[in-house]
Structure 1
Amino acid sequence: MKILNVELGDRSYPIYIGSGVLEDAKIITSHIKTKIICIVSNTTVSQLYLENLKNLLDDYQVIEAIIDDGEEFKNYDSLNYIYTKLLENQCNRDTTILALGGGVVGDIAGYAAASFLRGIPFVQIPTTLLAQVDSSVGGKTGINHLLGKNMIGAFYQPQAVVIDLNVLKTLDNRQISAGLAEVIKYGLIWDEDFFKYLEVNIENLKQLDFDHLEHVIYRSCEIKAKVVSEDEKESGIRAILNLGHTFGHAIENCLGYGEWLHGEAVGCGMVLAAKMSLTQAWLSESEFDRVKDLIFRANLPIEKPKIDYENFIGAMKLDKKNKDKEIYLVLQQGIGKAIVTNKYSSSALDDVIKS
């Protein structure tokens, strides 16, 4: 097992990464100082891991809040259902929420923890590759709105993140590829050598080679932890973690949440961002081809779905990075370096969206 710390002063916390870590009750219980635990999960994950997790928690009063599975259920109705479960069981601040699931569960459970009684502790137990390398780390919590993704939420850090590689064995190929999109993102924004490593080992990762997976999960979390430690609330450098997301969130919103997986939309969004970077001469033709090729080899979409231009640009205008009603994009200045900017050709953006 490897342990990585997110350094945020009195809000610092560890990330545990390894095979079988969910079988060690002390890893979880050492971060629970309350008598009551509310496990938030979904209808798919709960059937696989809920009972085993409950068996580790005999010394606690355990309640369950099981939401429907899918991005389309990351909404106020699911959030209110969690509040109702907490209130029906007379939960108070002596309660810890355990988020057992992928990014949707982690985001919504974290927001429930941030807002119930103005804040109760929670622990992330991510069960998808995407959640393990990205959404479980950094304290972004929230829900979607019909008009925009992740527009309602809070920055709220967990007590710990517990990553067990064994849970990845139950994922289908599509979910693995979705997670690889966020892994590729870290190479593109921060570490060219890591990107080269992914180019060499993408097939091993798709086949769930645990030695390679542990390395990329650790490195992904390491990069994100460093960025978050420098900029917890996304007032500066943390925004580079959104490479591909402005385009990707627009795809998700326009198609309807759940039609494409988040990672699929981000993968396609990174191709669009790379194309924009190419139009500005910040990325060379050969670098653009490498980006597109790796995303394609990860079994992610590299072509934008047919979406009306006005709807697409309208969704992009609701991105959280925007200022003064201008669209800010995360673009690349070579592989391994990203910037957040509104200094680009608007006609080039129109061409990329319409192409």
Structure 2
Amino acid sequence: MRAEDGDVALETLFLPFIDGSIAWPSSGGALFLRARDGWPLHQRAWPGLRCEQSFRPAADALERSGLPLADEDDTSRVPLVLVLPPRQRDEARALFARALARCAPGGRVVACLPNNEGAKSGEADLSRIAGAVSSLSKNKCRVFWTAPLDGPADAALAAQWAQADAPRPIADGRFLSRPGVFAWDRVDAASRLLAEHLPHDLAGRAADLGAGYGYLASELLTRCAGIRAVDLYEAERRALDLARTNLASFADRVALQFHWYDVTRGLDGDYDVIVCNPPFHAQGRGDRPDIGRRFIAVAAQALRPGGRLWLVANRHLPYESELGAHFPRVRTVAQEGGFKVVEAVRA
């Protein structure tokens, strides 16, 4: 796999080491923030490389490839920090600040972004807190790196940016959220529509697939007194940590479990109710309806006979055939604002 059909940002990130623009550290190791697996990580040995990733499918892929995952609580400093910044700018700025904090004296930070995902802005942001950077462009991406560092060039701004993605109240203080998680600064309109149509007679053991910061699970527990347990499954650990806080007030009434987990791998659960606003993107921009279809199949396998799936999705997403293949009873409950709410009952 090469740039034309692979992860071009990952490939471009390693170009300065391949062409000799900068040297890989001979000792002390390297930390890769928001790491993704791919052939550039295996084209040669990268001594001492450790990877950090909060998105479970990507973390699983790194582990399957034999790449060691770093402990996110580790604050040790290393001579090289690699970064694939996210698209959300506050989150990316916080990541740049953390990269500088993890960089040992004399070390470098190296980052890469696609041109159409803010490469110039990312380069400018890193230079604001780290000083002058060098860069090269290839594969419609830009990789940029600092000079050897002795702390941030603007320590006050770096400290400010380190808190740029900190949790904060949203929805009139009802929830905590943070930049970078799905619909981070609001209640998602599709999830709200689903919540408004949840029947009050839902009861028993429930699961929320793709739980985010916990909105749907909170609405389910608020509206349905018969729910006695909820398992929340979420692939993004930053969102799941928020859900723990946002549902803490229900812990004395129901059994809550929080799973940092890739739902597409299947579930061993045995549920009466599943609620779901399935993701239809992975870490890229394109639609991925296959993820939603897999969520439907997994939900069907995890429901008890007579169990009910309540799902919301964009109206254009082709989920009907998957629903029909797994559920004998499927009905569209509502269509509004470009979304559809569906109830499916297992035989």
TM-score (norm 2): 0.32
Larger-gyration structure (1/2): 2
> Structure 1 or 2: larger strand share?
2
Greater relative contact order structure (CA < 8 Å, 6+ sep): 1
> Structure 1 or 2: larger helix share?
1
